[in-house]
Amino acid sequence: MTEATTTVRVDDEVRLCVQAMGNPDAPTLLLIGGATWSMDWWEDDLCRRLVQGGRQVVRYDQRDTGRSTSWPPGSPGYSGADMVADAIAVLDALGVQRAHVVGLSMGGGIAQRLALEHRDRLTSLTLISTSPIDPSIEGLPGMSPELQATFAAEHSEPDWADRDAVVDTIVEAERPYAGPDSFDEARLRATARRVFDRTDDMAASLTNHSVLDDDGPADAGLSRLDGLPTLVLHGTADPLFPLAHGRALANAIPDARLIELDGVGHQLPPPRTWDLLVDALIEHTGRV
């Protein structure tokens, strides 16, 4: 299997670390991760299975993660619109005119903006564990009481140079988001170690995405995505965006298909779901 890691120059200031896996002539899946996510969170084994299904898989370190450009913690010098532009820059650098875009959580918001603002660059859209950016969709439930309590509790910062302390922080931060029986601590700890080893500024990585300005598109009506093949995957135990968010997405985008993942929380769907996940993605991206 071909794997190529490169640095994409967005402008004079911003560099993104990008990895493409598989045949560059195959249909491209562009994976856009959630807040704080470097490419490491898209697990190698899952990516390889998608490549084996006949797809080129592209994942990248978003700003302030991994080996991409970082800003001082608490002071990101960019907006959500810049992160949308980053995805286009990645496709341009790889010579990909149109891609199957897959976004998870915050990445799902970026993916929705891509579809609305750069429709001609998408072949299909897949949204995982995310919420509609359309402001006309109202009345969706908030996060679970347990997760609210986690947010309200005081948390001390680790010594950012202490690998074990930072890994512990990442692991414990992810624990309340997982669904019942879906928290694999050993697997998550291995990912967290890789994240630490590849990240230039852990404090920025775990801070800056949460303080970005909300600069959504002027027209975020998701009904405009009529005709764009869309797949929505959402866990039934998501404590941040309860299942109603996924159902609202599927209702708002004409002809979107919804797959409910039993017992899955706000997380990359765990390995027990990968047979379903991979089959669904290959089938969805093969319809066009």
Count CB-CB contacts under 10 A for residue 52. 12
Helix, strand, or coil (residue 93)? helix
CA distances, 274 to each of 59, 120, 161, 282 (Å)? 18, 29, 34, 12
Which residues are 20's β-sheet partners? Answer: 4, 58
Q: What is the dihedral of CA 33, 35, 40, 45, to 10 degrees?
A: -50
The contacts of residue 174 (CB under 8 Å, 6+ apart) are: 183, 188, 267
Helix, strand, or coil (residue 5)? strand
Residue 230: which region, alpha, beta or left (left: phi > 0; alpha: psi -120 to 50)? beta
Catalytic member of 209, 238, 245, 284 = 238
Q: What is the dihedral of CA 278, 19, 38, 217, to 10 degrees?
A: -80
| Whether residue 238 lies in the annotated active site | yes
Catalytic member of 209, 234, 245, 266 = 266
In degrees and rounded to multiples of 5, residue 149 shows phi and psi of -65, -35
Catalytic member of 38, 68, 70, 105 = 105
| Whether residue 210 lies in the annotated active site | no
| Whether residue 234 lies in the annotated active site | no
H-assigned helices in the chain: 44-52, 80-94, 106-117, 145-152, 163-174, 185-198, 202-205, 243-252, 274-286
Residues annotated catalytic, as ranges: 105, 238, 266
